[in-house]
Amino acid sequence: MHGALMARGRFLFMLLVLLVLLVMQGCRKAAPAPRALNGIIDLQHWNFEKQGTITPDGYWEMYWMQLYVPPDFIKQLPPPALVSIPGNWNTISIGDSLLPGQGYATYRLRTIGMPQGLMAIRMPDAYSAYRLWINGVPVASNGRVGTTAAMEIAALRPLIRTFDSRQENEIVIQVSNYLQHKGGLGITPEIGTVDQIMQNWSASQAFTVFLAGMLLILALYHLLIFFTTRHDYNPLWFAFLCLFIAARSLSTAERILNNMFPAIPASIITRVEYASVFGGVTLFACFIQGLIPKDFPAAVSKVLMVAGLVQLALFCLTPVIFFSSILTVFQLWAVCQLVYLVVVIATATAKKRQGAKAMMVVIIITLIVGVNDILYARSVVDTTFALPLAVPGLLIIQAYFIAHRIGHSLHAVEKLSNELNSANQELENKVVDRTAALITEKGKTEELLLNILPAETAAELKEKGFAVPRTYSLVTVMFIKLTRIASDQTGADGVLSMTEIGDCFNELDHIIARHQLEKVKTIGDVYLCVSGLPVPILRHAEHTIAAAKDMLLMIQERKAGRQAQGLVAFDVKIGISSGPVVAGIVGSKKFAFDIWGDTVNTAARMQQHSEVGRINISGLMHKIMRNTDGLEYRGKLEAKNKGMIDMYYAR
């Protein structure tokens, strides 16, 4: 067991190293592309068909606090500022001071050497509203551009539009921002053929939806675990963490949340975007504390939770312009939390806590990704948001710990099983000793034999001291399986179920006695009986079906009564088949009457393929019945180790 866990740990470590490489690869840009210089980008040597789409990064013209339209550029205009795109205008200096985050501007870029014909542009959202013209034609708009906060309507929704490309194209974008602290073109538009833009958009949406769906399923699963156990809060933290990451995935990039609910204001989307990422860091810390509580003080965890609640309150209750202006504080706090987690996990690793090494790899990845995303958001590095690439690492580590816990539990179960086997052996020895004393009481012995053996077999055993197994050429075998009905009594123990099973089996004993069937044995919640042995009878198949119908009626009546009282109740599945069997006694100390043969296996398969409240019979039984009017043909169904078998329902 220990070796298997070590092997699993090494495999996980290799997998996470591969994830690091993938994250690094995802953060790298593609082959070098032309850049805009002095508001012009030369694409004469760029082959869209072979080299793909292009984001015209570089230096664009910007006219601060001016909203020009394409015809204005025919006139003599003041000289523009040349600004780096992508980038927020907060980082731009005009004169001796940086531009404020709130305001408006016009961006302009000219392209030369583009292919002529229908092309497409994918315009990401710009903080916080924009209008786009290409070659003097209005192409797209998001919200309403305004010169004051009252005039602006902010909107955050990426758009794809087509345009007629020329050898030389002019792109004009008006942008205004009165929503949050940073404004401008933080993300460069993407230009390419229509097919390329649509394929990239579809792939991005598919990945986001897949990731969000997977996270929502994991969240639901762990919420159910938490509400089932209640004593362990770790599943709850992980569920909330998955929900936060899913919310961020849906509120950023393709802004799927906004596309699903267009009426949601941009301010709400922005709050979800920030709250999900910074709140997620705190939830991640709480999750780690639950995994290594001995090295992560509970007091620190409480401080982190209080700080996280304060953050959420700021994101929910204060204006966007306020909390976005102190974003650096939140970012530094997030990095501090991650660094603290590194220290805690390093301590756990030094103490050789189980799973600590794997956690160390994941937390380092998370720290690298977090720092990358912060620097990218602040336009310090030219990479991309790497959080979506790192999320699978967190899911892998959670799966690893679940597997580890299961393995540890199996080891404990194995140990307990050995102890139980020893106790059972000791108990069996005591039973043998007491049975030897009971053998002297002949009357009780005979009564006991008649309870566990057919009368004919018991008589043969008393007379000869043994019973010879016998072959019966044609009998009918029936399996009855009780299935517990789900109820609100999730805490009901096994004693209640076993008591009801015993009561049901007592009723089955009376029914088979009325219909001349012989009880063979019970296995847990399964009752096995047979018609046509040890004394052969005519029409044993019809007797068995009549008994089965009485059993269904009895179980249904009990179920209705017990469900009305809120008690444990059972349903039933019945399978029947006819054919030859061998019957005899198993064992020499604890006598047990049993039957063997392919007919028994077939009857068991009939029960397995039956539905609740139905009687399923085999094709062979159908052939020997004189009256088949009450049978419903189901067709040939695949049965384990039996191939295709004709099956019928008895009505």
pLDDT at 1: 45
> Structural domain boundaries of the chain?
2-29+203-408, 40-192, 439-467, 469-650
Per residue in 250-284, pLDDT tens?
A: 888 788 888 888 889 999 999 998 898 889 889 88
Can you read off the two tokens belonging to residue 578?
A: 């006819």
In b/e form, how buried is each residue of 259-275, taking b as 16+ CB within 10 angstroms? eeeeeeebbbbbbbbbb
CATH no. for 2-29+203-408? 1.20.1070
- Residues 80 and 110 sit within 8 Å (Cβ to Cβ): no
Distance CA 269, CA 257 (A): 8
Q: Which of 521, 431, 514, 539 is nearest to 478 (CA)?
A: 521
pTM for the whole structure? 0.58
* Residues 527 and 575 sit within 8 Å (Cβ to Cβ): no
Residue 499 CA: distances (Å) to CA of 503, 526, 568, 571, 627:
6, 14, 10, 15, 38
The CATH class of the 40-192 domain is mainly beta
Q: Which two tokens stand for residue 602?
A: 């077939």
| 615 contacts 648 by C-beta, under 8 angstroms | no
Within 13 Å and on the Cβ side, how many CA atoms surround 269? 26
- Show the CA angle centred on residue 193, arms to residues 191 and 195, nearest 5°: 120
Cα of 413 vs its chain's centroid, Å: 27
Residue 321 has a CB neighbour count (10 Å cut-off) of 16
Q: How far is CA 447 from the centre of its chain?
A: 57
Fold match, 2-29+203-408 / 469-650: no
Per-residue pLDDT tens for 158-190?
A: 999 999 999 999 999 999 999 999 899 988 999
Angle between helices 194-229 and 234-251 (to 10 degrees): 160
Residue 624, Ramachandran bin (φ over 0: left; ψ between -120 and 50: alpha; else beta): alpha
**pLDDT value for 633:** 92
Check residue 309 and give its pLDDT: 93
Per-residue pLDDT, 18: 44
The answer, yes or no, to whether the previous bond of 578 is cis (omega within 30 of 0) is no
Of 473, 457, 450, 575, nearest in space to 532 by CA: 473
CA distance 182 to 317: 19
Contacts of residue 553, Cβ cutoff 8 Å, sequence gap at least 6: none
- Nearest Cα to Cα of residue 89 among 207, 182, 192: 182
Q: Are strands 190-192 and 97-98 parallel, antiparallel or unpaired?
A: unpaired
Alpha-carbon dihedral angle through residues 55, 58, 64, 68, given to the nearest 10 degrees: -50
Query: 3-state SS of 163-228?
Result: EEECCEEEEEEEEEECCCCCCECCCCCEEECHHHHHHHHHHHHHHHHHHHHHHHHHHHHHHHHHHH
Quick one: pLDDT at residue 93?
Answer: 82
Alpha-carbon distance of 127 to 87, in angstroms, equals 11
**Rounded Cα distance, 595 and 586, in Å:** 9
Tell me the CATH number of domain 469-650, given options 3.90.1150.10, 3.90.1300.10, 2.60.120.380, 3.30.70.1230: 3.30.70.1230
Q: Report pLDDT for 603.
A: 94
Provide block-wise average pLDDT over 10 residues at a time, the chain (651 residues).
44 46 45 88 93 94 95 92 90 83 95 94 91 96 94 92 95 95 91 94 88 87 84 84 87 84 89 89 86 87 92 92 89 88 88 77 75 66 66 64 64 84 86 73 62 67 73 94 72 75 93 92 93 89 94 93 90 95 78 87 94 93 85 90 90 82
**Token pair 């019979």: residue:** 617
**pLDDT in the model for residue 104:** 96
